A and B are shown apart, each in its own frame.
Chain A
């Protein structure tokens, strides 16, 4: 069952070393990021495994997943395109940007494209207010910011994701 421990033993040791030896629980957030890298969401078995590594209950680990918005407990699109529409971005047209982007993709906010690749989401302020419209893309590879965006540039980026995916699956 200990798949994370087997696959990432060095990385896990490195994470645990950051915190005082009697404060292992502090490693729960970095370990959840590690687990999420595997399947783009935190599986039940990785919850159990993290709990075992840290000596806390699986419920406690699950509560962390529930509290923080960057953790997912169920599968979604491979790429989360998260558009900020908070006040400063909204004053620079972010709401209209998001609406048109959704229109172009034929989905609503919170939905995933039929190919299962892209989920469009609202997100709270990302500290990119001066470069709105902007969004972040959260995927297995981490988080990347895309600023000063237009609907065209965002659609180009999503096309790139699709091409990458086809290449990865050997279709091109």
Chain B
């Protein structure tokens, strides 16, 4: 089955149906900027926010927070306001925002502009990871093209509303995807998370009220404005409406981005769209939110679970950014968590002690386990360290670093027993927290 057969129409990855959509004129011919014009010229800012609220759109960066609700939190007693688009896409397994910005950039930029109008911001920043240097250079040209065509700049559509959009490049730090670390970085400081509250809608960029939204989230906005909330609710489940881009990677025949309604099952994504597992292997585990995921045991119940914000927790995980990493039965989970722990150790910003020190010790413990030099007590110690990180850090990175570790030991215990040389599996030592 191809994507097109299940998809009456692409909402986000429209460039797959419309060639040259990254050309302003082509985008315009396909309804581009009509939503921006409608919003700016005929709607009040809070009408725009209310429409987005009514659509039920939830943040696509990972947390799934209702977008319109976030916009409505903006502090109208403190000015100016800012929009910051989170284009720091750095979660291992996530590569959706990159495709949007490379191929359907104007829909994203139009979404940024509509969000800015809704909160009456006159400046919006797109914070891109430093590695997206070429994308930023192209976006700069596209922003200039929008300015030349009258879709950005002074007095939009004959109103007194003005807006400029700027790109800002990070320089290689996963933590800057965390919204308050991103704001610090935008201000020219170390990318370290802030203590919250206050949250960005009251204290954001440069200490001013700010909405931070993910690229994919903002790319949903133009069609919601153009077609309405009822239309949006026709896609996906009631509580998680709309299309979602699932980034599919790992042990899979056809890796890539798949735009599907939220609520599509793991089985449909992996086997119908992704073409199944290579080399006749079986799927052993699934990570649904990139490297930050708990490991889902890939049994029939899990495979038939709908991928939406409500359902994934029933199999002991979160949907997050919907970066589906498929792990086949040739992979030992102790090797896997060694990879994820190395990542988080490198990316820990160093601000909180449990995360800074904990990821360091988890790295050494998993190194020892993978090298076959560990005893069972090292596995228990690893579990102990992970539990001392979890729930004790300023931002989610600390927790993320423990998800695969704790779920891996609990759900794929036999892999760790083998690695730790537990000879007699009948009389194996019991894990305290398993």
Interface residues of A (CB under 8 A from B): 18, 20, 23, 25-30, 32-33, 54, 63-64, 67-71, 86-88, 90-92, 124-132, 136, 142-145
Contact = CB atoms under 8 A, between A and B. Distances in A.
Contacts of A127: 89-90, 94-95, 97-98, 129, 131-132
B346 interface: yes
B173 interface: yes
A130 B249 contact: yes
B412 to A, nearest CB: 15
Contacts, number: 138
Nearest to B346: A124
Contact of A125 (B90, B134, B190, B256): B90
Given A68-B171, A68-B173, A143-B131, A130 B291 contact: no
Nearest to B347: A124
Given A33-B169, A87-B336, A143 B130 contact: yes
Contact of A70 (B98, B172, B339): B172
A69 B249 contact: no
B340 A87 contact: yes
Contacts of A63: 190
Contacts of B188: 23, 25-29, 54, 64
5 contacts: A25-B189, A64-B171, A91-B249, A125-B93, A126-B131
Contacts of A125: 90-94, 174, 291, 343
Given A28-B188, A127-B90, A91 B250 contact: yes
Interface of B: 89-95, 97-98, 123, 129-134, 137, 166, 168-174, 185-191, 206, 247-251, 255-257, 291, 323, 325, 327, 331, 336, 339-340, 343, 346-347, 349
Given A71-B171, A90-B339, A127-B98, 16 more contacts: A20-B123, A23-B188, A23-B206, A26-B187, A29-B171, A29-B188, A70-B172, A87-B93, A87-B339, A88-B92, A92-B255, A127-B89, A127-B132, A129-B94, A143-B130, A143-B133
Given A86-B291, A86-B339, A29 B95 contact: no
Contacts of A144: 134
A128 B95 contact: yes
Given A18-B166, A29-B168, A86-B291, A130 B255 contact: yes
A63 B327 CA distance: 39
Contacts of B249: 88, 91-92, 129-130, 132
Contact of A88 (B97, B257, B325): B325
A25 B174 CA distance: 21
Contacts of A54: 188
Given A86-B291, A124-B90, A29 B169 contact: yes
A88 B168 contact: no
Given A63-B190, A86-B343, A69 B247 contact: no
Contact of A68 (B90, B133, B172, B248): B172
B206 A20 contact: yes
Nearest to A20: B206
A92 B255 CA distance: 10
Contact of A129 (B137, B173, B174, B247): B247
Contacts of A124: 90, 92, 172, 174, 343, 346-347
A28, A68, A127: most-surrounded residue (chain B CB, <10 A): A127
Nearest to A129: B249
Contacts of A126: 131
A133 B192 CA distance: 31
Contacts of A33: 130, 169, 171
B191 A67 contact: yes
A142 B166 CA distance: 19
Contact of B95 (A20, A27, A68, A130): A130
Contact of B92 (A23, A29, A129): A129
A29 B132 CA distance: 14
A18 B168 contact: yes
Contact of B331 (A26, A91, A131): A91
Given A64-B188, A87-B93, A30 B169 contact: yes
A64 B190 contact: yes
Pick the most buried of B168, B172, B346: most chain A CB atoms within 10 A of its CB: B172
